[in-house]
Amino acid sequence: MKFTTAASLLAVSPLADATKPLVSSEKLQKLITEDGLMENLEKLNEIAYANGGNRAFGLPGYAASVDFIYEEISKLEGFKTWKQDFPANFTQTLAAEVTVDDETFRTVALTYTPSTSEEGVTAELVHAPEGTAACDVANYEGIDVKDKIVLVERGLCPDQTTFAGKVKPAAKAGAAVVVIYNSDEAKLTAGTLSAQSPDYVPTALIDQEPGKALKARLDAGEKIEAFAKVIQTIETRITQNVFAETKGGDEKNVVMLGAHLDSVQAGPGINDDGSGTSLILENAKALQHFSHKLKVRFGWWGAEENGLVGSRYYVNNLKKNEVDNLLAYLNFDMVSRGFFGVFDGTGEKKGPGGPPGSDVIEDLFREHFKAKDIEVTPAGLTGGTDYVAFLEVLKKPVGGLFTGTGLEQDACYHQACDNITNPVPDTIYKNAQAAAHVLSKLAIDGVELLPKIPSNSTVGSIKRVRDDASLHFHDVLSGVEGKPCDHDIV
């Protein structure tokens, strides 16, 4: 019995891996290979196509992705692994149609929209107030929208929403249905209201071109009858986060890396976010060969595309001592094509910034890329991906990498073509090396480099960063098209 106890203590001691060489940036980077990164993506691609073309939460492709990651991390030496069950609202669109004059437009039903009747709604089409005026119900005075279909352009409202901020005023004014047309040429395949609400009416999204054409006809005084139908099923399903944590390292100081494991229902999600999934997996595989002063934890999040549900659940269920022990969080969501984006920890380049210490993480990434003669694009910590709960609730230092979602960066964003042909192998390789550099630095010198931020009264209540998950957080960060974020928090 005494031997078992001693062995157990050794297993969690910082000296448990003392026989291994101490990790360094150069050594860790050498074990990161382009082939290894791409092999993971090929496996995720195979999983998607074997399961209806996606790896979305609540569907077989995600369950298979969980199995794949768990099988891989279970092979790691010196790690403990586990899964975390949590509930999330699963949505699936059964019908989405907007038709005018026998022309049916490409239509997307926003996630968490109420449904119309099975027969749909046929009614007069009316344009909402223009611009931010559509964000305030007071501006509907003098516009008869009762029981009608309201056409409104997507755009950022003062409350920092791009969908919900346009839907709620129209609904309050009496609209039967809201049809939002996109504010740029991107052909969106998904958008979300983040959560169900009695303040919404059935809402559909159409492309910019038909939206502008309809507006022009209405502006010319034409009376238009439109048909809209939106049917969506919403139910609670149990899904999982996956974790791997080093047995060695100081348990009072934990560095965490994360990436979301799910895709949207529209495609395989190989860049978004198979790339981040692969990046942290390869870093975990490399780290097993070294000793390090701090404990390192890797997390693969579920239901990110449904509103950061997995990471939010994880943060809200941490114990006080677990919060106190967490030193920093690094996030990797879309890292295989586009620019080399580093989250702006100071907020001086692409604000807002992060909690104290976020600037240090940014500097570590920037120094690495500078040494490699790679130009860095600043990415704002504007919300919409899995660092949000760590930043907003725990006030922990955050950082990470991101390669953009503008058409120039990823024309297949949230689409069926985000498959194995989408990633740029050299891009994910260079980002994985950058992650290895920062990981090695923090795993050795993290206590000296970063402030220790203890648990406080903010734990357990996530404040809204955005409340309409329109495109994806990446659209704000790209700095190319200035789009508002997607996975917004309510």
Strands 250-260 and 326-332: parallel
**CA distances from residue 455 to 86, 318, 445, 458 in whole angstroms, order as listed:** 23, 10, 22, 8
Q: Report d(CA 398, CA 54) in Å as an integer.
A: 29
205 neighbors 180 (Cβ within 8 angstroms): yes
Residue partners of 228: CB distance under 8 A and separation at least 6: 97, 98, 99, 116, 120, 121, 149, 177, 179, 202, 204
Q: Cβ–Cβ contacts within 10 Å for residue 435, how many? A: 26
Strands 326-332 and 398-402: parallel
Q: Cβ–Cβ contacts within 10 Å for residue 92, how many? A: 15
Which residue of the set 245, 304, 392, 481 is catalytic? 304
Q: Which residues of 274-291 are buried (b: 16+ CB within 10 A; e: fewer)?
A: bbbbbbbbbbbbbbbebb
Q: Which residues of 144-161 are buried (b: 16+ CB within 10 A; e: fewer)?
A: ebeebbbbbbbbbbeebb
* Residue type at position 380: G
Q: Report d(CA 471, CA 163) in Å as an integer.
A: 10
Q: Specify the residue for token string 């507006």.
A: 215
Q: Is 124 a catalytic residue?
A: no
Known catalytic residues are 304
